[in-house]
Structure 1
Amino acid sequence: MTQTILRLNHKGEGVTDAGTAIPRVLPDEVIEDGRIVTPSTDRVSAPCRHFKSCGGCAMQHANDDFVADWKTDVIRLGLSARRIEADIRPILTSPAQSRRRATLHGRRTKKGAMVGFFGRGSDALIEIPDCKLLDPKLIAAFPVLEELTIAAASRKSTVGLAVTLSENGLDIDILDAMELKPQGILEMSALVERHKLARLSWDGEAVATREPAIQTFGAGKVSPPPGAFLQATAHGQGILSNCVTEALGDAKQVVDLFAGCGTFTLPAAEKAEVWALEGDESLIAAMDAGWRMATGLKKVTGETRDLFRRPLLPHELRKTDAVIIDPPRAGAEAQSIELAQSDVKRIAAVSCNPISFARDAEILIKGGYTLDWVQPVDQFRWSSHVELAAQFTKA
């Protein structure tokens, strides 16, 4: 049976003329019995030898220009579905081997343990010693992760291994692990010292810390709690932070919504007083500690608040010059409705979901805001994910 690929869907899968979704194909390619008989001129050899078996990447079969254009079009189409036109800047893509955080999986074997990503759509664990996505320091840690898997996994279970590079070493959180006994805690403490890890956590609870797991946000240094959100690459964080700074302009009073542990709060505090709101108390505490240890920053006030249930209201924004808003993938519909009714002059928006961003952008535009520009950012190289920053202004 011969099929022609018409386009890619939001997952990066090819959609045929019959509506079938096929992974790892490109528009205009002709497929016959699962074999590509007419390849696209945009097709390239995957740079990673694990690509065919590993489920970590989806788009290594396409050249960089194609992927950049496709991800930009995902944003453009999301906006156009809401009848929104905007100045979309050229996408900025993080380099290969720059991912500083990843959730791998570990499984015990007869000879020890194996660590890697699951195969696409399966529970087959694929080892990835030559991964072109992860920072080499993460790959170098695989022997440590194997050792931890032996300690944390039962014979039949698989554990998650959330690994993050910090300034003082690796920050590792073991997920879905067996219960750690008192003797095990002593053994894990020795392992942390032996391998010079920054911190080791067990299902989100720190069990051994050698040094604070420091991340730098502007002039501030923060030790986030285990499992806290962090931008995937330092490159991407820098781009998004610069975009936020540009969108804030010369604002002196800033509100940061969904502030996390201060990714954008602390850089903004170099020029403005910031009121930072976040639903997780531990993130606010980490940000506050980082602010208090920093020098040269203006006042930062942290508040724990569920912005989905209690969005900030227009009267609470009366003295605010600019707002930063970086919600999770679901977006911030309720908060956008309240923002649209405010008199705040500038909004710096960050989003990891072009669809929810477009919905919230429509709300703001109907409330009198102008979408000045959108900056696509590709931190998740070779995946179907794309992020963005944007500037809204109100006259």
Structure 2
Amino acid sequence: MSRTVTLQIGHLGARGDGVSSLGDAPVFVPFTLPGEEATIVMDGRSASLLSISDPSADRVEPVCPHFGTCGGCALQHMALPAYRAWKASLFEKAFASRNLDTSAIKPAQFCEPHTRRRAVFSAIRTDAGVQLGFLQAGSNRVVDLRECHVISPAIDAGRPKLKALTAAFLPPAKTVHVTVNETVSGLDIAVDGKFTLGEGAKRRAADALSATNFVRLTVNGEIVLELKRPLVKFGDIAVSPPPGAFLQAVPAMEESMAALVCDHMAKSKRVADLYAGCGTFAVRIAKASTVHVVEADGAALRSLDRGVRDAGGFGLRQVTTEKRDLARRPLTAQELKPFDGVVFDPPRAGAEAQTREIAASTVQRVAAVSCNPETLARDLRILVDAGFRLRSVTPIDQFIWTPHLEAVALLDRLKSAKRHWSDL
């Protein structure tokens, strides 16, 4: 049974919601800021905001009319300086909880609006046409976007054509995911959902793609039509990513991350790049070091391998690849023996099993890239306990107005802590 209560907001939680309490239980109130008095509707443990009295000095007018309905952004109501200070504090809190040295945390780097080159939309075909956007928070309803201040201008401009394209073949009343990657060649479209594309629908889809400037359409893993080869640049090396490929969200932030990783690996003769994807870091590192790439996605590895072969005249060192699920079967300390440097960029769950093997190895330098402060702090604690020194952690915000935050952590092994797998 719902009830209306008024609460004082104490601080922001890790998801960007204002946090208060009711009795002994915490209450998370979206779209509120510390110091505000919020009148909310409680429905079980869920809180919905009704009104704010005495708004915070850090409250601003959101730039997007969809804010509060669209589930894409959580913090457009917060002034940029306060937002950036809060976001940078996420790593300080996570590191303090693991007794890690917070002085190693460097100033955060922040992306600008309209810079995200990768978007995963939801879409549904209705009697009124295709609705394309993001899901409403806590709902399966697609918010049909009229504008978006996060995605790149090219993706934003492509939305009307994307609606026309998907209208040609989507079945009615089925919500699907539409991944759009902006590449050097143009927009690469991958549609995934619980439907079968018949021959007639394939022809309609191919005809509709030909009327756009999109470069490729893939439906449920099958390439319907490729008008141009999609290409992304990792440094000066071009790679053609597989359909729907994971790419770092903002090119400028990728460049910053890659510079940190490559500078740290510069003295390593042999580097293992783990959870490597299409080679964001690997091909850049290969300018100076031999690289062994390990990744569970076979299509990503094939894209990387072709990119390396196509770049034969760019002076890359040897790059080898291995298809392997590192969460289930991490590289062991013995297998890591040939490498003096390791880079890893795992999913949000982190790389605990792999980190324990690195800790037990003779690896000298580690670059850990993460999108989750809590799991990164856990993994770094393992390495520090094994004798690694945490040199720096640089927060990288390429998910503006959300609670998501990347980081690049750089470590090297103290000479007095050098270990060998056979000693364990």
- Per the normalisation by structure 1, the TM-score is 0.96
Q: Is the 8 A contact 1:153 1:177 kept in 2?
A: no
Contact residue 221 and residue 243 of structure 2 kept, 8 A? yes
Match of 2:279 among 262, 267, 272: 262
DSSP 3-state at the match of 2:165:
helix
Equivalent-residue separation in structure 2 for 1:11 and 1:293 (angstroms): 43
The answer as to whether partners of 2:166 and 2:205 remain within 8 angstroms in 1 is: no
Question: Residue 258 of structure 1 contacts residue 279 of structure 1 at CA under 8 Å; is this kept in 2?
Answer: yes
Say whether the 8 Å CA contact 2:344–2:367 is kept in structure 1.
Answer: yes
- Which of these residues, 256, 263, 278, is aligned with residue 246 of structure 1? 263
CA distance in 2, matches of 1:130, 1:279: 36
2:390 to 371, 375, 382: 371
Give me the whole-angstrom Cα distance separating, in 2, the residues matched to 1:50 and 1:79.
34
| Mapping for residues 149-298 of structure 1, pairs under 5 Å | 149-176=166-193, 178-294=195-311, 295-298=314-317
| Residue 29 in structure 1 maps to residue 36 in structure 2 | yes
Residue among 41, 47, 51 paired with 2:63: 47
The alignment partner of 2:74 has SS state of coil
1:346 corresponding residue in structure 2: 365
Secondary structure at 2:59 match in 1: coil
Aligned-pair CA distance for 1:13? 0.6
Q: Secondary structure at the match of 1:58?
A: coil
Deviations 1:101-135 (A, max 9, x none): 11112222324222122222223322222211111
CA distance in 2 between partners of 1:249 and 1:174 (Å): 39
Q: Distance in 1 between matches of 2:183 and 2:229?
A: 9
Q: Tell whether 2:113 aligns with 1:85.
A: no
Letter in 1 for 2:410: Q
Sequence identity of aligned pairs in percent? 38
CA distance in 2, matches of 1:272, 1:247: 12
The one-letter code sitting in structure 2 at the alignment partner of 1:108 is: R
Contact 2:10/2:19 (<8 A) preserved: yes
Q: 3-state DSSP class of the match of 2:334?
A: helix
Report the residue type matching 1:331 in the other structure. Answer: G
Structure 2 residue 335 is the aligned partner of structure 1 residue 316: yes
Is contact 1:117–1:125 with CA below 8 Å preserved after alignment?
A: yes
Give the conservation status (yes or no) of the 8 Å contact 2:239–2:278: yes
Secondary structure in 1 aligned to 2:399? Answer: coil
Moved more, 33-42 or 331-340: 33-42
Please provide the CA RMSD for this pair.
Answer: 1.5
The equivalent residue for 1:94 is 111
- Is 1:11 aligned with 2:15? yes
What CA distance in whole angstroms lies between the structure 1 residues aligned with 2:367 and 2:292?
14
Matches of 1:286 and 1:32, distance apart in 2: 53
TM-score by length of 2: 0.90
Amino acid in structure 2 at the alignment position of 1:2: T
Q: Do residues 115 (structure 1) and 115 (structure 2) align?
A: no
Letter in 2 for 1:275: H
> Is contact 2:265-2:365 (8 Å) kept?
yes
**8 Å CA contact 2:164, 2:208 repeated in 1:** no
SS at 1:20 equivalent: strand
The alpha-carbon deviation at position 177 of structure 1 amounts to 5.4
Match of 1:329 in 2: 348
Contact 1:152-1:174 within 8 A present in 2 as well: no
Comparing 214-223 and 365-374, the one that deviates more = 214-223
